[in-house]
A and B are shown apart, each in its own frame.
Chain A
């Protein structure tokens, strides 16, 4: 980076007046998935599609696919393991994330 240039995330010239944030919910651009050390893995044979994992996830990770299964989108998953602990059938297991 050349000296004297702006090294910040956003240059001051691009910051809106009063530091307002003009786009609602733009934190979707911040991927919290790289905090993760454990990854949830779903066993579809045990899953009863109850949706407990979807509603209990603090990071809005789970979405329903066409067949009705709740699939984890690992972009935001912090690997807390709440989904595995609330699953009534034990269909979700946490496995160590490979590097």
Chain B
């Protein structure tokens, strides 16, 4: 445990924050898991926050002119530089404090939101640079596993076998041909103090992780798995069920990396078969038994690797 968390007791179902930094009336699809993750993250952070959004679903649905859903200061920037702008905002805050134009003891968190495309593909070098420079900010990746905003194109975070418009399944293709890029591991490899993965199905876990990330001195990275009914071909009401299944089948394990040490926050001792998760989504319906076995083997191997990382340290 880090010393910054000494005063933080953690959120529970009884002491949830009342304020809503994200206003209703946004134009997300029915049953959007990403806007739910964004709402929970902002609820955990509170009103003393400066938010930076890369281009993506969350920017489009929250700010169609003349409306905005943000009740906190918010900057929209291009696809690739959310982390760069966040580091600029943090440096400006530090300069203002040094010059005495901003109260020194007033705590303001800087948080950057980006989708999986803006994190794993386009914004990776800006993120890497910001983590390397050690700015005190939180980077939250809302991972819905493709470029959903522009109409479901594949990204680096799209899982193996998924159907998207740029990875269509057919005679010579099974959909997405590469495995999902492990962005939390890339972030952890920078040696930053805090990395975590979360999903909106376990909302207290998500809120606690985001708050802990904000309290840490130095950069922190939170990877939030967010179901997308439109792009995945699922029912809107199944978003939370799917997010829960992704954890229970070990496809998306929940863990924290605190100063290089891995901690699994939700151990899955009796995993469900991945088939249960894959069969509920239209993007995986072309998969054969053999492909599902291949995915199961990969999921088991990845979880084994994570367990070893968590045990040996």
Contacts and interface: CB of A to CB of B under 8 A. Distances in A.
Contacts of A81: 31, 235-237
Interface of B is mostly: loop
A24 B72 contact: yes
B13 A50 contact: yes
A9 B68 contact: no
A15 B65 CA distance: 10
Nearest to A57: B36
Across the A-B interface, the 9 shortest Cβ-Cβ residue pairs:
A81-B237, A25-B23, A80-B31, A27-B25, A80-B236, A25-B71, A80-B30, A30-B25, A27-B67
Contact of B237 (A9, A25, A35, A82): A82
A68 interface: no
A26 interface: yes
Interface in B24-53: 24-28, 30-33, 35-36, 39-40
Interface of A: 9-10, 15, 19, 21, 23-32, 35, 50-51, 55-61, 75-76, 78-82, 84-86, 94
Interface of B: 13, 16, 20, 22-28, 30-33, 35-36, 39-40, 62-63, 65-72, 200, 203, 229, 235-241
B65 A19 contact: yes
Contact of A25 (B39, B65, B66, B69): B69
A21 B81 CA distance: 23
Given A30-B25, A56-B203, A58-B32, A24 B71 contact: yes
A63 to B, nearest CB: 10
Contact of B240 (A23, A29, A85): A85
Given A24-B72, A58-B31, A82 B236 contact: yes
30 contacts: A19-B65, A21-B68, A24-B68, A24-B72, A25-B23, A25-B68, A25-B70, A26-B66, A26-B67, A26-B68, A27-B26, A28-B24, A29-B67, A30-B27, A32-B24, A51-B16, A56-B203, A56-B240, A58-B36, A58-B39, A76-B24, A76-B25, A78-B31, A80-B30, A81-B235, A81-B236, A81-B237, A82-B239, A84-B237, A94-B237
Contacts, number: 103
A19 B66 CA distance: 8
B237 A27 contact: no
A24 B50 CA distance: 13
Contacts of A51: 13, 16
Contact of A55 (B16, B32, B67): B16
Q: Which of A9, A35, A58, A60 has the most CB of B within 10 A?
A: A58
A22 B53 CA distance: 18
B236 A30 contact: no
Given A24-B72, A82-B237, A55 B203 contact: yes
Contact of A27 (B13, B24, B235, B240): B24
Contacts of A15: 66
A27 B62 contact: yes
A55 B68 contact: no
A29 B237 contact: no
A21 B67 contact: yes
A41 B267 CA distance: 36
B24 A61 contact: yes
B199 to A, nearest CB: 12
Nearest to A58: B36
B59 to A, nearest CB: 13
Contacts of B16: 51, 55
B28 A58 contact: yes
A10 B23 contact: no
